[in-house]
Structure 1
Amino acid sequence: DVTGLLLLQVGVFSWLWERSILRIPGSWFTNFLFYPSFTQTLPVPSQYFEMGSLFRSEEMTLCQLFLQSEAAYACVSELGELGLVQFRDLNPDVNAFQRKFVNEVRRCDEMERKLRYLEKEIKKDDIPMLDTGESPEAPQPREMIDLEATFEKLENELREVNQNAEALKRNFLELTELKHILRKTQVFFDEGISQNLTYPQMSDSRREEEQTLLGEDWLKSGNQTLKLGFVAGVILRERIPAFERMLWRACRGNVFLRQAEIEKPLEDPSTGDQVNKSVFIIFFQGDQLKTRVKKICEGFRATLYPCPEAPADRREMAMGVMTRIEDLNTVLGQTQDHRHRVLVAAAKNIKNWFVKVRKIKAIYHTLNLFNLDVTQKCLIAECWVPVLDIEMIQLALRRGTERSGSSVPPILNRMDTFEDPPTYNRTNKFTNGFQALIDAYGVASYREMNPTPYTIITFPFLFAVMFGDLGHGAIMTSFAAWMVLQEKPLAAKKTDNEIWNIFFGGRYIILLMGFFSMYTGLMYNDVFSKSLNLFGSQWKTNYNVSTILENPFLQLNPSTEDYDHTPYPVGIDPIWQLADNKIVFLNGYKMKMSIILGVLHMLFGVSLSLKNYKYFKNQLSIYCEFIPQVIFLVFLFFYMVLLMFMKWMIYSPKSTDVKTSPHCAPSILITFINMVLFKENKSYDVCDDFMYSGQDTLQKLLVVLALICVPWMLLAKPILVTRGHKKEHQLLSSNHVGGENGDIDGAITPAQQTVPDNKKHEETDPVELYIHQGIHTIEYVLGSVSHTASYLRLWALSLAHAQLSEVLWGMVLSNGLKYDSWVGGFVLWGIFAFWAVLTIGILVLMEGLSAFLHTLRLHWVEFQSKFYSGLGYGFQPFSFEVILDQAASAGED
């Protein structure tokens, strides 16, 4: 019943989608899924609603565009706003520095450099930049001069202010350091005088500890016979130990160093960083030591300042320093205010300036792809455009011509080409995520079937088969619904967190995965490893109390009154939650369901290849590939699926005949293996060997026909292609001979002799043709077996998810339910928090990611390999929106 509901849901939805909804012009569902006009990102005329869809890429055409030189800039600007034209480079051999508009591009680069400098200074001061969200139009070429002048003025003014501020800060730093030197050296000298007075009264041991580097004689002489010099300065605090060691070794201990830390960090005027420094004073004797000390200070980048010897001179200098510091503070404040005003004014317009400059640069980059005609008055371009949007492109070109004031209208001509056009699928915010999943495997070849419309349903459905849990699905749905409802404010934040951007970009995928997980969880009747008893179990326990107490294991018989003979209304009966053989039952159920869904999924993929063959008028592939592939898959694996349904219908516990009772139900796996190996089925004496009459003969016939399909796929197409090539060569030879004999009618014209490029590719070597076909045949035959087995991952991951959920409930949360007193409430609160973290971290995130990757594999390999080549290249139109988004992302990185 559950399998039937799942298959019916997918089948009905797909049928309605293809047959009804897509045939209703202007349907809200069609517009939402397939037309970006629904999201107001790419307007499409209403008359095109019935033509465009996501099932195939848009029809593209190569056009040649002729633009007058004076109108080229405005026309390209309009096309950039439209974002529907992909230009080709007509100057591939010309160096980028030798193109016509290289000077304009360089000017734009220079303007961008100045804007980045302004932006860096604005961010340094934490000034908010005004972002209106609007995108101004590209300015006219003559406006570039005004923009350049504005940016030049702002940059020069800001650099001048910064230079003045840096000079003032450097002067302020010097005065601040000098202030600290004067204060600290006064303390040093005061300590020296005090030490000199108290030195004679010290004990011998104390005197030895306090003895200076210059010895006791100098102190006893009262500094009357020796004249000492000193230097004072400031050094980085972390360099003090090495500085002290170097002084000791270089001066052989003949200097006296005192140092003290400056409490507050000082600002480095060059970098703006806060640095910790220390004040030092060094006493020495003689000019040689003085020279040596100064060189060491210079090597350690210490800053030396003049320090008077007399206390009165030091006090006078300190007062002068304080006065100058106050004056500098006033000037610095005025400088910073002026700088702030300049940056605030720039912050109001810098976003719009960036947009304008980047648009100008993009236009000139595009114009460099064009060719000039011989008169140097007309620009020639080649571009890929969607056929449906040619009228819109022509309207944009006319608007550009009117803006430029040109009297000559642009000319847009369609060209014939044998090149493969780019693949363009119209998407919106809903379908974009699913299309990105497909394109990650490979961009669809031009006009081949696009798997995206079917993936919108099958991807979340197969994910949910593995992830099915009503509770976990509700968590996932809630998170996705929050992102969908808050998508505008969340999108406006534009964070550079890559993981968050992945989640937000796939919000609609996560939403559908959550919905389908809730649905399959309801079918499995699984909510955090528990079941919901909404309608009452269809099973009854008719044993008395004594029987239950005497027997540890009791079995309910579905053929008796233990079962009501009607299934549970929705999903699996909750009684299975208590059964010891629950895993055995669920394993068989999910395993068979996985095979059924897998075979149907692969058959659907093979059927889509028929649409490709019909569209490309490849009749040979229909008869030589599609038909034998369908026969091989249906006669072997779909027949196995039919055996499952037949087994469910034939063998019933209500049957009074032993041969149709569950006792005689055969194993489908053993039956299929015996069928392929042409072995006989062996059963019990009371049971039939086969499920129906003629089964043995039919199975042998099916296997033989399936085996015949292998050489059919392998040889038919190469033989027919080779034979066709021989006939063409014979026809060409006979026509050539007839022309030499004077048969004018028999001769062909040079135009008829021309073979298109796509036909030339088919005329390959016969050996390569056989090898290529052999590889595809082996891949399909072996893949049919391996891919069918691969779908068993649906069962395996579903079982693992259910068991992990049950383990978390039984070993974590159930422990919090054992306490009855008020203490149990606090215990349950803590255990529930731990259980919730494990549930979200392991079961929702890790298991969800695992199921997502396995679902991706089933679609990329098992499904798409049946019809999807993915050898195309994407349509990359010239679009200001894309260019600005890429520039913004690069700026954030």
Structure 2
Amino acid sequence: MKAVYLALNQCSVSTTHKCLIAEAWCATRDLPTLQQALQGSSSEAGVSAVVHRIPCRDMPPTLIRTNRFTASFQGIVDAYGVGRYQEVNPAPYTIITFPFLFAVMFGDVGHGLLMFLFALAMVLAENRPAVKTARNEIWRTFFEGRYLLLLMGLFSVYTGFIYNECFSCATAVFPSGWSVAAMANQSGWSDAFLAQQPLLSLDPNVTGVFLGPYPFGIDPVWSLAVNHLSFLNSFKMKMSVILGVTHMTFGVVLGVFNHMHFGQWHRLLLETLPELVFLLGLFGYLVFLVAYKWLRVTAASAASAPSILIHFINMFLFSSSPTNRPLFSGQEVVQPTLVVLALAMVPVLLLGTPLFLHREHRRCHSRRRQQPDKDTAGLLDLPDTSLASQGSDEEKAGCPGDQAEAEFVVSEVFMHQAIHTIEFCLGCISNTASYLRLWALSLAHAQLSQVLWAMVMRAGLSLGGEMGVAAVVLVPVFAAFAVMTVAILLVMEGLSAFLHALRLHWVEFQNKFYSGTGYKLSPFTFAVEGE
């Protein structure tokens, strides 16, 4: 009853003081339901209620319908900011990208399986009254994100198979692509030689030593190598850069749909195209170098393979290194051309949109002087000033409609565009480096898992020579290992990877196309929130 009177207090009284007038937002698809409800209540109360659709120039609220599966992902996006009306919603893409980027930092088959089973248990028990009515805040947090945890665990199992790590231990699902016997036969290793050499090297150039790549993921033989960490660091660092550039490029492309929907066609040529050229011309080229070197450099030429880092530095210095041979013919011409092309996009991005808007503003006022007696509401042909457009205030200020005339300040438009240009150009550098957190967190998780296994489980297995003694020792050892695995690797490391994945989506991805300056539609309802 209190909610009813609170809603009635927000209504205005008509001039005849015989009825109440309420202005509210309603989704178009819900209008028939609203009219049907009003007709039913009017017939019971004996007082008719009339619904009129009125024009409004205010920005409508945002209504995004979710279900139990998508609610947690939409909550991640809304925590950054509610999208403007009809703006591209990043939540559908976050359903895939968020668990995947989390799994890149949390890749382990065993840990991912534990997280998946925990989330699956909550999903299967979600309709039980005791589970739904629990008041513990920590439990409610996990329960409301159960589908998010489910996908995070599932993707972690997938990346764990790629890393070939299960509680930090490698598994030989398929035969290894490296043959020690072939190396021993070709090199003539004797028992005395093997006894004197603590480390042995496998040469892939020797016939029969390298049989081919592992069918899926990292070859388990790398877990025995002393350069295991160097190999994984190189792989994960390059993978992080590739994923980062791809993720940011996808964000810029999503901005195209915003511009097309709101009719801001000038932004496609003056903002989106320069942004893509700048991003792909510099860091897209870096991804190309990584992929090209992976495909072209073989084991026979690995010792003399050129350095991508030196090439990338020389690219900005407009120089070349005589000791670092080119990766492909014409590289000395391609690299300076890409740098010049990327730098040429900066003034286009900085001056293009402000000059275009300034020209349209002057054309608008020129038409007004030529036709002073006509309504000036629709003189400017810019779609940015239409009723449905949700463009920036600077663009709408150029030629106002039936509301009070707003001054078009060129300096404010230039300032706004300058901030956007500096943020994007510097952000391409800092954001690409920011994606290296995928490599760092993955390395930290793998090392913590390895230390926990070596210091607890392996030490427990080595205690006691007899089976009975070992079995007794393993009971407290496994209990300690299980507790520390859940507390450190699942909870602490999982929370850390979650926060870093959250930052990558909010800062590096969503700021490429998503403003988040809208507000939610909050309809009047008697339903309990969360049900």
TM-score, structure 2 normalization: 0.91
What does residue range 351-750 of structure 1 map to in structure 2 within 5 Å? 360-406=1-47, 408=48, 410-489=49-128, 492-542=131-181, 543=184, 544=189, 545-653=191-299, 655=300, 661-683=301-323, 689-736=325-372, 747-749=373-375
Secondary structure at the aligned position of 1:384 is classed as coil
Alignment RMSD (CA, Å): 1.9
Q: Which has the higher strand share?
A: 1
1:820 corresponds to: 465
Task: Say yes or no: does 1:790 pair with 2:437.
Answer: no
CA 1:710–1:525: 2 relative to 1, 3 Å? same
Q: Are 2:252 and 2:512, in contact at CA under 8 Å, matched by a contact in 1? A: yes
Q: Are 1:541 and 1:562, in contact at CA under 8 Å, matched by a contact in 2? A: no
CA 1:455–1:635: 2 relative to 1, 3 Å? same
TM-score, structure 1 normalization: 0.55
What does residue range 109-120 of structure 1 map to in structure 2 within 5 Å? none
Q: Are 1:556 and 1:562, in contact at CA under 8 Å, matched by a contact in 2? A: no
Q: Are 2:222 and 2:228, in contact at CA under 8 Å, matched by a contact in 1? A: yes
Q: Structure 1: how far apart are the matches of 2:58 and 2:528?
A: 25
Question: Could you report, residue by residue, the CA deviation over 1:142-183 in whole angstroms, capped at 9, with x for unpaired residues?
Answer: xxxxxxxxxxxxxxxxxxxxxxxxxxxxxxxxxxxxxxxxxx
CA 1:523–1:490: 2 relative to 1, 3 Å? farther
Shift of residue 547, structure 1, vs aligned partner: 2.9
CA 1:601–1:731: 2 relative to 1, 3 Å? same
CA 1:403–1:669: 2 relative to 1, 3 Å? farther
Question: Could you report, residue by residue, the CA deviation over 1:517-557 in whole angstroms, capped at 9, with x for unpaired residues?
Answer: 00100111100110111112111113243332221221111
Q: Are 1:444 and 1:871, in contact at CA under 8 Å, matched by a contact in 2? A: yes
CA 1:783–1:390: 2 relative to 1, 3 Å? same
How many aligned residue pairs are there?
504
Shift of residue 751, structure 1, vs aligned partner: 6.1
CA 1:666–1:541: 2 relative to 1, 3 Å? same
CA 1:490–1:570: 2 relative to 1, 3 Å? farther
Q: Are 1:418 and 1:756, in contact at CA under 8 Å, matched by a contact in 2? A: no
Q: Structure 2: how far apart are the matches of 1:677 and 1:867?
A: 32
Q: Structure 2: how far apart are the matches of 1:390 and 1:681?
A: 69
Shift of residue 379, structure 1, vs aligned partner: 2.0
Q: Are 2:179 and 2:211, in contact at CA under 8 Å, matched by a contact in 1? A: no
Q: Structure 2: how far apart are the matches of 1:425 and 1:449?
A: 11
Q: Which amino acid aligns with 1:764?
A: F
Question: Could you report, residue by residue, the CA deviation over 1:159-211 in whole angstroms, capped at 9, with x for unpaired residues?
Answer: xxxxxxxxxxxxxxxxxxxxxxxxxxxxxxxxxxxxxxxxxxxxxxxxxxxxx
Q: Are 2:125 and 2:131, in contact at CA under 8 Å, matched by a contact in 1? A: no
Q: Structure 1: how far apart are the matches of 2:173 and 2:516?
A: 47
Q: Which amino acid aligns with 1:501?
A: R
Shift of residue 785, structure 1, vs aligned partner: 0.3
Shift of residue 760, structure 1, vs aligned partner: 4.5
Shift of residue 864, structure 1, vs aligned partner: 0.3
Q: Structure 2: how far apart are the matches of 1:839 and 1:749?
A: 72
Shift of residue 664, structure 1, vs aligned partner: 2.1
1:320 corresponds to: none
Q: Structure 2: how far apart are the matches of 1:693 and 1:636?
A: 19
Q: Which amino acid aligns with 2:161?
A: L
Shift of residue 372, structure 1, vs aligned partner: 2.3
Q: Structure 1: how far apart are the matches of 2:33 and 2:241?
A: 49
Q: Which amino acid aligns with 2:62?
A: T
Q: Are 1:591 and 1:795, in contact at CA under 8 Å, matched by a contact in 2? A: yes
Q: Which amino acid aligns with 2:255?
A: S
Q: Structure 2: how far apart are the matches of 1:634 and 1:591?
A: 19
Shift of residue 621, structure 1, vs aligned partner: 1.2
Q: Which amino acid aligns with 1:390?
A: L
Q: Which amino acid aligns with 1:435?
A: Q
1:350 corresponds to: none
Secondary structure at the aligned position of 2:93 is classed as helix
Secondary structure at the aligned position of 2:416 is classed as helix
Shift of residue 871, structure 1, vs aligned partner: 0.3
Q: Structure 1: how far apart are the matches of 2:142 and 2:275?
A: 39
Shift of residue 564, structure 1, vs aligned partner: 4.0
Q: Structure 1: how far apart are the matches of 2:290 and 2:376?
A: 63
Q: Structure 1: how far apart are the matches of 2:315 and 2:419?
A: 26
Q: Structure 1: how far apart are the matches of 2:445 and 2:109?
A: 12
Unaligned runs of 5+ in 1: 1-359, 656-660, 737-746, 887-893
Unaligned runs of 5+ in 2: 388-392, 399-406
Question: Could you report, residue by residue, the CA deviation over 1:108-132 in whole angstroms, capped at 9, with x for unpaired residues?
Answer: xxxxxxxxxxxxxxxxxxxxxxxxx
Q: Which amino acid aligns with 1:792?
A: L
Q: Which amino acid aligns with 1:703?
A: V
Q: Which amino acid aligns with 1:662?
A: A
Secondary structure at the aligned position of 1:445 is classed as coil
Shift of residue 753, structure 1, vs aligned partner: 7.9
1:799 corresponds to: 443
Q: Are 1:449 and 1:612, in contact at CA under 8 Å, matched by a contact in 2? A: yes
1:243 corresponds to: none
Shift of residue 867, structure 1, vs aligned partner: 0.3
Q: Structure 2: how far apart are the matches of 1:711 and 1:565?
A: 53
Q: Which amino acid aligns with 1:413?
A: H
Shift of residue 672, structure 1, vs aligned partner: 1.0
Q: Which amino acid aligns with 1:677?
A: L
Q: Structure 2: how far apart are the matches of 1:394 and 1:678?
A: 69
Q: Which amino acid aligns with 1:672?
A: F
Shift of residue 374, structure 1, vs aligned partner: 2.9
CA 1:491–1:602: 2 relative to 1, 3 Å? farther
Secondary structure at the aligned position of 1:881 is classed as coil
Shift of residue 623, structure 1, vs aligned partner: 1.1
Q: Structure 1: how far apart are the matches of 2:396 and 2:129?
A: 52
Q: Structure 2: how far apart are the matches of 1:558 and 1:388?
A: 65
